[in-house]
Structure 1
Amino acid sequence: MSIVPSLSPTEPFLLPNSLSLSPRLKLLLTFFRSDPAVRPIDEWQLRNSLLRFLSLPPLSLSVPDDDLLVKKRADLHKRRRDEPVASGTLYVRELGFLKKKKKEGEDAGGGGDEWKRFAEWRESVVRTLGGIELNLEGVGFEMRVEVPEGDDFEKMKRSWEEFQPLPGNRNYLRGAARRPDTIIVQGLPSRWFAEPRVSSKPSMLVSHTIFSAIGKIRKLNVAADDDLGKKGDETGGEIVSGIQCKICVQFETYDDFCDAMKVLCGRSLQKEGSRLKVDYEVAWDRNGFFKNVQQGLGSSHVQKRDDQVPALVGNIRNETRRHRSEVLHSDSSRQTKRFRE
């Protein structure tokens, strides 16, 4: 039975292990100079000016300081005039007012469709913010706004329906008619997917239990998030290897895959008792990950769905040890980096 009809765009979706997926709006911001000024960018001033604009009508959004990130681009003196000078990310996590509108009957004629109302509100926010000009002590900035693909289910669905494999891709000869069945989730906290009081490393068994709540699983892969480390190196940051993980999940059916995508899009992962909100990245598999692993191109363990996973009643301890030993470990030959907040 599909879980999507009962899924609300404004209410958390509960997962096993005291985890939940909380809805939120994520917007990517890009700032350009709207005049030929060459004065240095004041990130703090730019951010505060935008926060004030968000709090005023017609948006009237109360956004905590931590949910608006603005960072100037490197090597601004080398940029061309039409290139951006800063970028940012805006999170709107309080969506209860949309539910309140429904109770007050403000969506009359909308057929009670919460998803339609949410999409219309999101579009109005993007339209209002897109192209606004901020004037900071005589220096003008124009802001452009977009919703990332991983936060828009309909946009992501169009991407796999229109996908054309490139020549050389193993799926090229099969054409684009093959419907996807695998999701890739990056930036997940390893500890939240580990076995309590046993290890801080992500567990195949725990991961299978959590993702089974959103669809029937055929195959599962758990690995350290190497892409996160690369991003940290590119930005000059230092990130501990293994603090976050990447999980690939292949579902039994296309419907399960779609349900999982709709549940994961536009949400943050939270754990009961923790104030941390994890804004992971979700995408669909374009390159046949599990086929590559089976042919020896992958290095981490792949768990195939069999009768042993659900039948863990009498043999739970042995299975737990086996799964723990098969979780991907960080390469000990790499130099350990210190984590910097």
Structure 2
Amino acid sequence: MSFRPLKSLPPTETLEIGSGLSLVPRVKLLLTIYRSDPSVKPIDEWQLKRALIDFLKNSLSVSLTVPEEDLDIRRFKDLKKRKREDPVASGTLYVRDLGFLSKTSKNKQNLTYEDDEEENVEVLEKKFFDWKRSLVDRLDGIELNLEGVKFRLNVSIPPCDDFEGLKKAWEDFYAFNNRGSYSRGGRQQPDTIILRGVPSRWFAEPRVSSKPSMLVTHTIFSVFGRIRHLNVAEDNDLGKNSDEESEDLVSGLQCKIVVQFEKYEDFHNTLKVFCGRSIQKQGSRLKADYEATWVKDGFFRNAQQRVINSQIQEKNGRLQAMPAGHYESVAPKPQPQIARFSSESARLKRFKE
């Protein structure tokens, strides 16, 4: 599979990453709904969805057709106990049809192919971010009238979809070392990303297990750069919110992936590509809307230390439960190592198999 350089990938283009998986562009917006009048009439999520879908289609300069499944609104629990100024519901809006942004009208004369492609990406990026910002400004604060009951909408972009915001956060963190003073040592940069909310079965070995596989995950992410450390595990806590009326997630369906790259550039380009996209499996209509962000230094070091501390506590507990004469028979367990991968080690492992 030929892999397009990430620097030349426009934010509106799909990227195939292997194993039948693709990163599909979309815009994700977080919605918070408040009452705009003293009415205490119960909120109707279906009516609210229809009103917002109609607004997107008929009241914007660029009409947006959003399917019902791409708009999720859930009311909060215990509405009778909440204050009047508190929100009554929250939701998520996905805009996936971004084809209209790919049409540019720039002059292509006197440009080489490389210059043309690079300038095209820059033009599309600016057009995309300007449109996304204008969409948020247009939707934020609007009022929806549902049979005489008014609701006010607050709209924001989630932090995990704001790459420039994430980049500024890690630049500030490493510049001031999280202590308010500039670090005079060597230049520090992040190298680890974390993905939450991806289907476990898409990263599992086919016809072997439904649990995520370290080898399959490494094969997929190695196309983005050389990997120093990799961790993949089931993620059962994502999306749990005690304030919303929602069904519990089924255990084991989603996984959390943590990837540490050897080079900052690979980390930077990978996180930029994952921000603002969903992952889709060939042959499936499901689009997994994961969360992608960066991780501070020490994730894998801290993870290994937690394992060691847990083993020490377990050993001390066994020693306290044993008679004094049996202490010398207790042998220490070997300490597990955090998985460390590189492109060469992965190829050797597959060759031996």
Report the TM-score when normalising by structure 2: 0.80
CA deviation after TM superposition for structure 1 residue 41, in Å: 0.8
8 Å CA contact retained: 1:188, 1:245:
yes
Change in Cα spacing, 1:232 to 1:315, as seen in structure 2 (3 Å) is farther
Higher helix share: 2
Q: Distance in 2 between matches of 1:126 and 1:233?
A: 24
8 Å CA contact retained: 2:280, 2:288:
yes
Spell out the pairing of 1:19-168 with structure 2 (5 A cutoff).
19-56=21-58, 57-99=60-102, 101-102=103-104, 104=105, 112=120, 113-163=123-173
Aligned to 1:337: none
Spell out the pairing of 1:1-341 with structure 2 (5 A cutoff).
3-56=5-58, 57-99=60-102, 101-102=103-104, 104=105, 112=120, 113-163=123-173, 178-228=188-238, 230-231=240-241, 237-286=247-296, 288-297=298-307, 302-306=338-342, 307-312=344-349, 314-316=351-353
CA deviation after TM superposition for structure 1 residue 213, in Å: 1.5
Q: Distance in 2 between matches of 1:146 and 1:233?
A: 19
Aligned to 2:329: none
Post-superposition Cα deviations, 1:176-228, rounded to whole Å, max 9, x if no partner, equal 96321101101111111011111111111100011112222111001110323
CA deviation after TM superposition for structure 1 residue 235, in Å: 5.3
AA in 2 matched with 1:10: T
CA deviation after TM superposition for structure 1 residue 105, in Å: 5.0
Q: Distance in 2 between matches of 1:12 and 1:210?
A: 16
Identical counterparts, % of pairs: 54
Change in Cα spacing, 1:234 to 1:132, as seen in structure 2 (3 Å) is closer
Q: Distance in 1 between matches of 2:306 and 2:183?
A: 21
8 Å CA contact retained: 1:21, 1:270:
yes
8 Å CA contact retained: 1:162, 1:176:
no
CA deviation after TM superposition for structure 1 residue 117, in Å: 0.8
Bigger mean CA deviation after superposition, 245-254 or 174-183 = 174-183
Q: Distance in 2 between matches of 1:258 and 1:25?
A: 20
Number of residue pairs the alignment of both structures matches: 309
Bigger mean CA deviation after superposition, 225-234 or 37-46 = 225-234
8 Å CA contact retained: 1:222, 1:247:
yes
Post-superposition Cα deviations, 1:238-272, rounded to whole Å, max 9, x if no partner, equal 33321111010000011111011111001000011
3-state secondary structure, aligned to 1:309: helix
**If you compute each CA radius of gyration, which structure gives the higher value, 1 or 2?**
2
AA in 1 matched with 2:18: P
8 Å CA contact retained: 1:268, 1:277:
yes
Post-superposition Cα deviations, 1:39-65, rounded to whole Å, max 9, x if no partner, equal 111111111100000001324100001
AA in 2 matched with 1:122: K
Structure 1: state its 5+ residue gaps.
Answer: 317-341
8 Å CA contact retained: 2:304, 2:337:
no
